Structure formats: structure tokens, C-alpha cells
Amino acid sequence: MVGTEHLVVVDLGFGDAGKGATVDWLCAPEAGLGVAAVVRFNGGAQAAHNVVADGRHHTFAQFGAGTFHGVPTVLSRHMLVEPIALAAESEQLAALGVPDPLGLLAVDGRALLTTPIHIAANRAREDARGSSRHGSCGRGIGETAWYALEHEAPTVADCRTPAILRGKLDRLAAHYDALIGPSAHGYESIDALVAMYRDFAGAVRLTGDGELARAAARGRLVFEGAQGVLLDEWRGLHPHTTWSTVEPRHARAMIAGIGGTATVLGVTRTYMTRHGAGPLPTEAPLGNPEPHNGTGPYQGAFRQGHLDPILLRYAVDICGGIDGLVVNHLDVTGTACAAAAYETTAGPVAELVPGRWRDLEHQRRLTDLLSAATPVLEPVVGDPADWLAHRLGVPVVLTGHGPDRHDRILRRPVLGADSAGVGARLAATAARSA
Amino acid sequence: MGYGHWDDSAYRAGKTFRARAGEDDFGYTAQMREQPYDTWCAHPLLDPFGVGVRECRDSAEHGNSLPVAVLFDVTGSMGRVPRIMQDKLGKLHGLLKSKGYAQDPQILFGAIGDADTDRVPLQIGQFESDNRMDEQLRAILLEGGGGGQKSESYELAAYFLAEHVATDAWDKRGKRGYLFIIGDELNKPRLAARHIRAVIGDHVRRDVSVESIYRELAERWHVYYILPNQSSYYRDPEIADHWRGLLGQNFLKLDDPGAVCELIALTIGLGEDRVDVDTGLADLRDVGSVDEADAVGRALGARPSRRIRALPPGK
């Protein structure tokens, strides 16, 4: 199916905006999109994508959020794969009535492996930082990405070759010995890990380059982003970022690689949220209910703030533009304010300009600017989704009015929106909201 | 997470992956079932024939090893117990370590059948303190035979433990280990020399009385017999009288077979004077074994919360 329009779902904020519910909806047969697979293209087991449907609730971490519909998941080479958590998640899904969850997986052999050694190192490091923790899920994501930069790190494919895997795990353990040794954290014997990883390799389908094309031959792909683009390793508010490329460039590249076109959907709530440290200029004690997000020992507190079109506009820009908006939590009332501008030490600011890619100095300056920014609030008039569409110049495709699959309303066709061009879309949206 | 050398998470994950790959938790049994019955044999890890000694030794990391042997009757319906055991192995080891019931437990698994009728009437693993325990369990052959004479070759297993096991606990510290036999039938009337020769390979010429082998065994082991509620024998007074005669109050009836791991853990805690019954039952509830705690409480019944005796007062 050359030229198929594949979908990319990214969170325009700091995560928790409702990617899971969105992907679940897109994968539903009723949506008529013919989704053949969900592809994960960043992050790892730290993802927490909630899906509530038909009396079931699951927080998807490594399995794609289309799993309740039996849609297979491809863990691409950009994923960090954690098999122990994967096994536990498959057990949870089986208990929820998903037949043979592990049979729905295809895992790219080139994906990095997150091991209990990385996790122990992550936690030992965060404990040592004490109160100056900079926000982490404690799932070893950063350590996995960081170690792989300078070392031959264990990969999913290594699980098939115990001798190679053992060598890599021994060196990984030796590398972290000084950090983990004196800490309260530990891990199982490397023998036990190697045996378990061998079982993992025997139980799931390990794949390589051709897998995406094979999956695309069966239908449409939905690329499910993790976290939020404002946490992107190069474009986020440095240093309060994740060790992962969150904005959709990897997804776009993979889609181009199979000759398809990308339709990118950006997800946001009608207000801002953030886990842990880092700028949140419109932060306010909104007190909106948050049933699925607590305060993790490593993550820090769950924070809320007024809608911030300035941050969201920046997010759209660093995504290289998006094709549609998904606005969630429209059932939450009392979020009638949004940032019109910020008062900053450099005067009023109404726009954040992206720097060059990988210019962390620029990102640091943005963080400093936003940390000292005071928002100038304006009322949100009328339907918040339409109001936001107008402000961002992006049409609303789907709105969420509650946590359940049935709380979603389709505002316009998911596909084909880009044929009209941004100008036309903006005009149409403006006309509708006028 | 992390009870020293045992962490349940990789074990759990491996179990999930093996199940998906269609590998039975008792993979060796599955393998044997695909072969003609007359070729069935014990896994080399567990074959008692010609074994010098099974050793339970201290190591640099584990300087205070405590031998724990768990032998299952694997005939007939009793085959379910090893499955329960495998499911809860992590919990057993975790309880022993995390609640301080035993410092360095080393666990040996074995299986008991009928030497008159079974292909593989005795299997004896090695003492292990890490995830290799799981390997031993997986290698057990669940033959599922049994001859219907209301007796199994428990006495043959008792002989092996008495004659072919060496422990630092005893050699260095004069300390007895813990042996749990889980079954539902009687011993054979005599410990038959021909069974010893055929199954273990010792050149023994005369039969031995069952009483004398258990007496010898009790010198170095606290011996318990657990009768789970698995068959009609649970209420058979002949079974109860037989084992009480040999082991006194170390004959334990367990109405919920699912609680066998918890019963073993708490029995060791009590035997080691590390816990009393009430605290131990609270420990079980603490690790999520709520129903099991009730069953264990009933199994230990009116027992004093003090040290449990290994044998009844001398005859």
C-alpha cells in the first residue's frame, strides 16, 4: 500500500494529555481507519497511557494502546525495551481478557534493552541527588540511552545469543558497580537475567528492517508517541527533558522509509499538566481530578496549570507542524483561562522561537526565560477546543469528554485534512468558531 | 524486590515467556510424555542412582546454610502440589529471607513415587539458593503413576536423605535441617533392599524396618509429613495414625493445598524460634497470603507457639 496515510499521535505538552485514549479510539473498528499495527517510536516502559473501555481499564506501558482491539504492536528500533515489565504487562492484559498478548508483539532486534541494572543505577543516582532530583520515572530510561552513547549496550537481538548478552551485561554491571554497590538498590544474578532474556527471545517475534513494510501491507499504522514533545531531548525545556526524541521526526522518517505519508495528530488537554520539576509558566492549583496520576517516588508531584497556547504553539512548531488537534478533558470545568503572553525579565513575550536542532544552549535560555515568566491570562471564550484550534491554526479532529472510549467525539475526518493546506484549515476553523 | 540471591521478577517474567513459547513449567515432563513410557527416566539433575552425596555447604556469601528438603509425592492427584510449589517458590524463599526465618536457606526438591510400579520412583535434586531451584522443579518428572495399594516409597526417600546427604549445618554446627514430605499415603511395609539396589544403587542385602530408617533420619533432620486435602485419604484415620506413630505432632493436615509454601515457611520460622504462630500468621497476611494464613493456622491448630518437636517422646 504505497502512499498510505499513516497516523502519528504525539502529546503537545509534558505527557498525560490522553494519547492512550486517542490511539485506542483510532484503532477501534468503528473509526473505520483499518489500523494494522500500532508502532512505538520513543521512550520505553515508563509510558503510562490509560485506556478505559467496556468496563476495562489498563495503563499501557509497552504494549500499544490499540491492544484492546487486538491490534498488534511493533516496538521499533527507537524503543527502549524492558522485558520484565513486558511480561508483567502481558499478564495484566491476559487477566483483562486479551488473548495471547505476547503474540501481538513484534520487537525490533536493534532496540536497546533496559535491564534491572539500568533501573538500579537510575534509582541509586536519583537517591544520591536527594531533593534536587530532576524528575525521573525510576525506570532506567535515561541510563539506558546514556550508557548506549558510549558503550556497546545490550540490545533485544542479543537476547538470542546468551554468550554475547552475558559479556555486555557483565560490562554494564562493572560500569555501574561503584554507583549501585553502596546504594539500597540491587538486581538479580546475571545468570538469572540471561536465562530470562533467552526465554524472552523465544517467546516474542524479533524482527528487523522489513517489519514496518510488512505491517503496512496489511493496513494503516498508528505511531504512538510516549511522553510529551516539550520533554524532547533536543527541543524540550533543557535540562528538564527525557533521553528520547519525542517530537515525531523518527516516526516521520520511518513512514517515509516505507513510502507512506504522515498525518500528525497533536494531543492536549484544556489545561496544562506536568510531572516533577521544570518550568510550567501557567501553574495554578486548579485541583482538577486526576484518578490515574499519582506522585511517584522518583517522578515528583503532579502539577496543573492554565491552558498555554504559547507553549502549545512552540510544541506544534518543533513537531514540524501538525495536521490535527485532539483536545481532551473537555468535561473538566473551571479551566476558562489561558496565557495570552508572559511577563518576563526581557519584557512581554507572546511567542517562543525554536532554535537550531540540538542547540541545548538555546533550550537552556528558554527554560530560564520560562522559569521567571508570569503569565498574562485571558478568558477562553466559547468551546475551548475551537478556541484553541483558532489560536494554533490547526483544526480539531477529535475531542475527549471523559476517560471512556465512548466519551470521544469526532469533529472532522481524521484523514485527508492536509489536502486543503494550513491556510484553508485556519480559515475554516475561524469561520466555524466565529 | 531483591531478597539477596532471589528476585522473583526475572523468575516471573521467564515463566510468562516460557508459557507463551509453549514450554510447560514442567518442561521435562512434557518432553517425556512425547516418548514411549518404557523409556521414561529421571532427569540427570535429579537421578538418585549412584549418587555419592548431595551436599549443602556454606559459602563465602552464605556462611550459615540451613538445609531444607521438600519431597513431593507425585503420584495420582498429588501432581498438583509441585505446580503450586513452583508458583509460590519465590514467595517461600522471600518469606524465609525477608522475615528472617532462616539466614541462608538452601532448598532441595525431590519427588516420590512407587518403587513397585513406577518407572521413576525417586528423584532427588540439589541444594540451591538461587533461581536454579526453579530449574530443579522444572526437571521433575510428574509421572502420575502409583499402584493403588495406598502406599508409596516414602521410606526409600527417607533412606536417601539419611545416607546420601552431607550438610555443613550438621557437620560444623550440629544443627538439623528441615525435611518436608508432602503426600497422602502410607510408607511401604518395609524399606526393601531390592528397591535400594535398583533405584539408588547401594549394595544393601537386607530389608530395613520403616521405623528404624525414620529414627535414623530424625538424628539430623526435623522431619514433617504434610497431608494436603487432595484425595479421600485426607480423612482416612489409617493414614493419620501411621504418620503420627512415626512423627508425632510433625504430621500436619492442610485443608488448603494452595497454602503448602506458607506452611513450610512458617514451620521453619517456628522451628528456628524466629517467630511465634500469631506473628507468623501476620507475616503471611503481610505478604498477601491471606487465605493461606487461615489454612496454615488451622494446620498448626492447637500447637504451642513454642519450638516444635521433631519426634514424639522416645518409645
Q: Residue B191 — pLDDT band, cuts 50, 70, 90? A: very high
CB contact under 8 A, A102 and B16: yes
CA distance B7 to chain A (A): 6
Amino acid at the residue A374: T
Comparison of pLDDT for A139 and A13, the residue scoring more: A13
What is the mean pLDDT of the segment spanning A141-149? 93
Q: What is the strand order of the sheet B251-254 is part of?
A: B122-124, B104-112, B65-73, B177-182, B221-228, B251-254
Helix axes A162-180, A141-150, angle to 10 degrees: 110
Residue B53 vs residue A1, higher pLDDT:
B53
Assign 3-class secondary structure to A78-146: CCEECHHHHHHHHHHHHHCCCCCHHHHEEEECCCEECCHHHHHHHHHHHHHHHHHCCCCCCCCHHHHHH
Asked if A297 has any chain B CB less than 8 Å from its own CB, the reply is: no
Angstroms from A49 CA to nearest CA on chain B:
22
DSSP B261: H
- The residue-averaged pLDDT of B15-26 equals 81
pLDDT at A1 over 60: no
List active site positions of A: 16, 49
Query: A residues 156-215 near B, CB within 8 Å?
Result: 185-189, 191-193, 195-196, 199-200, 202-204
The residues, any chain, with a CB within 8 Å of residue A122's CB and separated by 6 or more, are: A136, A138, A139, A140, A141, A142, A143, A298
- Which ipTM was obtained for this model? 0.86
> What average pLDDT does this structure show over B8-15?
83
Residue among A91, A116, A202 minimizing CB distance to B21: A202
What pLDDT does A426 receive? 42
- Chain B residues with beta carbon closer than 8 angstroms to that of A102: 16-17, 20
| A431 pLDDT tier (thresholds 50, 70, 90) | very low
Give the pLDDT of residue A421: 42
Are the beta carbons of A196 and B14 separated by less than 8 Å?
Answer: yes
Among residues B274, B264, B257, the alpha carbon closest in space to that of B300 is found at B264
Q: Please say if the pLDDT value at position A413 is more than 80.
A: yes
Cross-chain Cβ contact B131/A189 below 8 Å: yes
Instruction: List the single residue in B7, B18, B21 with the smallest CB-CB distance to A188.
Output: B7
Has residue A370 got a pLDDT over 90?
yes
**What pLDDT shows up at residue B76?**
73
Residue A134 or residue B75, greater confidence: B75
Q: Percentage of residues in chain A with pLDDT exceeding 70?
A: 91
* Mean pLDDT of the B295-307 span: 68
Given a contact cutoff of 8 angstroms between Cβ atoms, the answer to whether B127 and B75 are in contact is: no
* A104–chain B nearest CA distance, Å: 11
Residues linked to residue A344 through DSSP beta bridges, in sequence order: A347
A88 with B13: Cβ contact below 8 A? yes
Nearest residue to A370 (alpha-carbon basis) of A299, A244, A272, A249 = A272
Residue percentage of chain B with pLDDT more than 70 = 91
What is the average per-residue pLDDT within A306-311?
96
| pLDDT greater at residue A188 or residue A75 | A75
For residue B8, the chain A residue with the least C-alpha distance is A188
pLDDT at A301 over 70: yes
Please determine, for residue A433, whether its predicted confidence score (pLDDT) is greater than 60: no
A401 grid coordinates = 469528554
Note the pLDDT of residue A209: 86
Confidence class for position A346, pLDDT limits 50, 70, 90:
confident
- Using the predicted structure, report yes or no on whether residue B118 has a pLDDT greater than 60: yes
User: B14 vs A91: CB contact, 8 Å cut-off?
Assistant: no
Q: Judge contact between A407 and A338, C-beta under 8 A.
A: no
- Name the band, by pLDDT with cuts 50, 70 and 90, for residue A135: low
In this model, does residue B86 exceed pLDDT 80? no
Residue of B nearest to A186 (CA): B2
- Decide if A370 contacts A363 (C-beta within 8 A): no
The DSSP code for A418 is G
What pLDDT sits at residue B289?
A: 86
Structural element, H or E, at residue B75: none
3-class DSSP assignment, residue A362:
helix
φ, ψ for residue B122 (rounded to 5)? -145, 130
Backbone angles phi, psi at B305, to 5 degrees: -80, 0
Which residues neighbour B28 within 8 Å (Cβ) at sequence distance 6 or greater?
Answer: B43, B138, B139, B140, B141
In Å, what is the CA distance from A275 to each residue of A13, A91, A225, A298, B61? 11, 27, 17, 10, 41
Q: Does the structure show a pLDDT above 50 at B308? A: no
Q: How confident is the model at residue A334 (pLDDT cuts 50, 70, 90)?
A: low
At A191 the pLDDT is 87
Cα distance between residue A30 and residue A20, in whole Å: 17
Q: What is the per-residue pLDDT across B33-68, written as a single tens digit (0 to 9) for each?
A: 888 888 889 998 899 999 889 999 998 878 899 999
Report, as an integer, the average pLDDT of A321-345: 91
Write the pLDDT tens digit of every residue in A211-220: 999 999 999 9
CA–CA separation, A245 and B13 (whole Å): 28
Q: What is the pLDDT of residue A375?
A: 96
Highest mean pLDDT among A312-321, A331-340, A424-433, B95-104: A312-321
Percent of chain B topping pLDDT 90: 54
Q: What is the pLDDT of residue A132?
A: 62
Least confident of A196-200, A213-217, B23-27, B275-279: B23-27
Pairing relationship of beta strands A261-269 and A112-113 according to DSSP bridges? unpaired
Interface with B, mutate which of A199, A204, A205, A206 (most B CBs under 10 A): A199
What's the Rg (C-alpha) of chain A? Answer: 21
Residue of B10, B16, B17 with shortest CB distance to A192: B10
The per-residue pLDDT of chain B, averaged, comes to: 86
**pLDDT tops 90 at residue B28:** no
Tell me which amino acid residue A240 is: H
Least CB–CB distance from B16: residue in A87, A188, A189: A87
Chain A neighbors of B13, CB-CB under 8 A: 83-84, 86-88, 196, 199-200
Tens digit of each residue's pLDDT (9 = 90 or more) over A87-117: 999 999 999 999 999 999 999 999 999 999 9
Evaluate if residue B278 carries a pLDDT over 50. yes
- What mean pLDDT, rounded, does chain A reach? 90
DSSP letters for chain B: --BTTB-HHHHHHHHHHHHHTT--TTHHHHHHHTS-GGG----GGG--TT---EEE---SS-SSEEEEEEEEE-SGGGGHHHHHHHHHHHHHHHHHHHTTS-SEEEEEEEEE--TTT-S--EEE---BSSTHHHHHHHT--------SSSEE-HHHHHHHHHHSEEEHHHHHH---EEEEEE-SSEEPSEE-HHHIIIII-----S-EEHHHHHHHHHTTEEEEEEEETTSGGGG-HHHHHHHHHHHGGGEEEES-GGGHHHHHHHHHHHHTTS--HHHHHHHHHHTT-HHHHHHHHHHHTT--SSPPPSSPSP-
Please answer yes or no on whether A187 and B7 come within 8 Å at the CB atom: yes
Over residues A319-342, the mean pLDDT reads: 91
Q: Answer whether 0.80 is exceeded by the pTM.
A: no
Task: Report the pLDDT averaged over residues B248-276.
Answer: 92
